Amino acid sequence: MRTAIEGTGMYVPDHVIDNNRLAKVMDTSDEWIQRRTGIVTRHFAAMDQATSDMAVPAAEMAVEMSGLKKQDIDYVIFATMTPDYYFPGAGSVFQQKFGLDDVPCLDIRQQCAGFLYGLQLADAMIRSEQRSQILLIGAEVHAGFMPWKSWDVVLGHSDKEITQEEFNRNTRFRDRAVLFGDGAGAFVLSSSVDDNRGLEDVVLHTDGNEVDKMWVKAGGSAYRPYFDPQMFKEGDTTPILNGREVFKVAVTLLPNVVNEILKKNGYSLGDVDLFVLHQANLRINEAVQKRLGIPDHKVYNNIQNYGNTTAATLPLVFHEAAKSYSLSSGALVCFAALGSGLNWGAALYRC
């Protein structure tokens, strides 16, 4: 028995924010952002739109493509680092909005690698015959992490001049604030008796020694109270990324784990038809591609349009790539991702 992807779905909010719009609230430019990240636009959720809200249309699309009904779903795995509330997780909130009954919902927090971890969990449940129709979701609303206050300017509702004080504060965080976008992706996963189709393997790793390479320093049980006004003043509620270190780690660990899973399963790089890489930074993906020697036609990137959507990047890329490439039966897909924690891994899927 193997785990097969029976349906995929995606959703991005309506607000498309280009680099020139961000230049109105901090010292940056389209050229500066594209040269460093490859990002041209990203989507931000509306002020009343939470992570669970975006997961609903992505899940509906995936269920419709699978040919199933909502009532056929018997388990939900929800990967996000930006839940609607501090607690509970987004899974139960999503369940109510999606219209499921008392189907169990599991929330996981492996950030950019969350979807891969969820894929392994779903596969284990399906192979052990505990569940048969699993909805795996990766969704994020990063907008709440952003440092700026003038959302009317960012969203294009106003072209007013912001204060120099706010402009300077926003500029402190420009290396991170330009990276993120909001979005959701979903897979419907089912059991398949076809030995020539389905998930072949997942390899995962964690290294807690690298926690401070990518994290949000403020909030949580490490502090009394969880949040303090000083944290906001110092900017500790905005993600902290050590860009050079992250780049160096990513272009080493991602090629290593790709080679690891291929060797483990008796494949070479040439056997893979499509590489689906986490969309953290186009420059990272280009370096990984170069290090592995992967030709352009075997890689699909969409960070240019959406930015880094963390747990949503892998399902977003696969959903679009499957349409763009018209993946044929038997095509071998390699997923790979790295995120804070550090958590990273790779998966092999046979179409």
pLDDT digits (tens, 9 = 90+) for 169-178: 999 999 999 9
How far does Cα 135 stand from its chain's mean position?
16
Burial class of residue 172 (count of CB atoms within 10 Å of its CB; 0-12, 13-18, 19+): middle
Domain boundaries, the chain: 2-192, 198-350
Average pLDDT of the segment spanning 108-118 = 97
pLDDT at 84: 97
Residues 86-110 pLDDT 10s: 999 999 999 999 999 999 999 999 9
Question: Which residue, 249, 298, 295, is CA-closest to 273?
Answer: 298
Q: How far apart are CA 240 and CA 217, in angstroms?
A: 7
Q: What percent of the chain has pLDDT over 90?
A: 88
Q: What percent of the chain has pLDDT over 70?
A: 100
User: Which tokens go with 347?
Assistant: 């998966």
Instruction: Quickly count: other Cβ atoms within 10 Å of residue 144's Cβ.
Output: 12
Q: In 3-state terms, what secondary structure has residue 9?
A: strand
Q: In 3-state terms, what secondary structure has residue 71?
A: helix
pTM of the model: 0.96
Q: State the pLDDT confidence band at 326, using cuts at 50, 70 and 90.
A: confident
- For the chain, the farthest-separated pair of C-alpha atoms sits apart, in whole angstroms, at 63
Report which of residues 239 and 294 the model is more confident about. Answer: 294
Mean pLDDT, the chain, rounded, equals: 95
pLDDT at 165: 95
Residues 54-92 pLDDT 10s: 999 999 999 999 999 999 999 999 999 999 999 999 999
Do residues 84 and 51 make contact, with C-beta atoms less than 8 angstroms apart? yes
Average pLDDT of the segment spanning 16-30 = 97
**Cα separations (Å) of 332 from 40, 61, 255, 262?**
30, 24, 17, 11
Do residues 137 and 184 make contact, with C-beta atoms less than 8 angstroms apart? yes
Q: H/E element holding 179?
A: none
Count of residues for the chain?
Answer: 351
Residues 187-204 pLDDT 10s: 999 998 888 899 999 999
Q: Mind telling me the catalytic residues?
A: 112, 278, 308
Q: How far apart are CA 313 and CA 114, in angstroms?
A: 10
Strand bridging mode 183-192 / 75-79: unpaired
Is 198-350 the same fold as 2-192? yes
Range 198-350 has CATH code 3.40.50.170: no
Residues 247-301 pLDDT 10s: 999 999 999 999 999 999 999 999 999 999 999 999 999 999 999 999 999 999 9
User: Which tokens go with 59?
Assistant: 């899940």
Average pLDDT of the segment spanning 200-226 = 92
Range 2-192 has CATH code 3.40.47.10: yes
pLDDT at 331: 95
Bond prior to 121 in cis (omega within 30° of 0): no
